[in-house]
Amino acid sequence: APGETLTLLSPTDSVYMESVKAGETCVVTFDYRIREDAATGQYDLTLAMDYADSKGAVYTGTGNARLSVRQPTEVQFDPLLLPEQMEVGDVIQVQVQAMNLGRSKVLNVRAQLAADGLKPQGTLFIGDIEAGNMAVGSTQVTVGGMVEGDSPYGVTEGTVTFYYEDEAGTEQSVEMPFSATISSPFTGQPSEPEDEPGQWWVIMSVVGVLLCCCVAVLVARKVRKVQI
């Protein structure tokens, strides 16, 4: 076996059998330890066999047994980055970050966001990540009113699901919850001041006085014309 990658744990690398009858099967087991930094791939174990038939004739044979080595995947995802307060009609940019903590490459890393009131433009695609590296994916999200509750505004609960594949094509997923607050686009706008009680009567009184003055002026002018 490749000495740098596999270490034999069994007491010996050979086994002696007295005989094997016609039609019988004999299973031979060897224990190995694979190094933690072994590269993912296939390794050849060399097999050699010596035997003799019932008449004493000796034969030899060699061959290879192929062993597949695959490193476990370990991917860490950061929480989804969202504004604390969002208004209906906003279009925001969201992003997710992933770090490959394993010793092999991970493929097709991506995330899907689902929440009432939030409509992502598409999948947050991150791509392939080499061992020990990190990458970021982003997309735009349109904020709308919630439809599942009594009010279109308030706290919405959602999930972001991360997907990735190892080098053998096996897909794995991680689900992470999140929450966000959706508010009305009119929140915080100053409201028009309401008329105070009695203000209407004050205005009408002023208008009435002005009308009286105008009438008095007109009457005075007519009287003057008559006297002349």
User: What pLDDT digit, counting tens, does each position of 9-26 carry?
Assistant: 999 989 999 998 889 998
Contact in structure between 72 and 40 (CB atoms under 8 Å): no
pLDDT confidence band for 136 (50 / 70 / 90):
very high
Concatenating the DSSP letter of every residue in 150-192 gives: SSSSEEEEEEEEEEEE-TT--EEEEEEEEEEEEE-TTTTPPPP
Average pLDDT value for residue range 184-191: 67
pLDDT of residue 197: 54
What is the distance between the alpha carbons of residues 126 and 111, in angstroms, rounded to a whole number? 8
Strand, coil or helix: 55? coil
Contact in structure between 52 and 19 (CB atoms under 8 Å): no
Contact in structure between 102 and 131 (CB atoms under 8 Å): yes
120, with CB counted inside 10 A (0-12, 13-18, 19+), is: middle
Q: How far does Cα 197 stand from its chain's mean position? A: 56
Which residues in the chain belong to E strands, given as ranges? 6-8, 32-34, 41-52, 58-69, 75-77, 85-87, 91-100, 106-115, 118-120, 124-129, 134-143, 154-165, 171-183
Q: Which of 27-31, 58-62, 73-77, 213-217 has the lowest mean pLDDT?
A: 213-217
Average pLDDT value for residue range 103-120: 93
What is the distance between the alpha carbons of residues 117 and 82, in angstroms, rounded to a whole number? 14
- With pLDDT > 90 as the criterion, what percentage of the chain qualifies? 45
Q: Which of 4-8, 171-175, 221-225 has the lowest mean pLDDT?
A: 221-225
Single out the residue of 29, 28, 66, 31 nearest to residue 45, CA to CA. 66
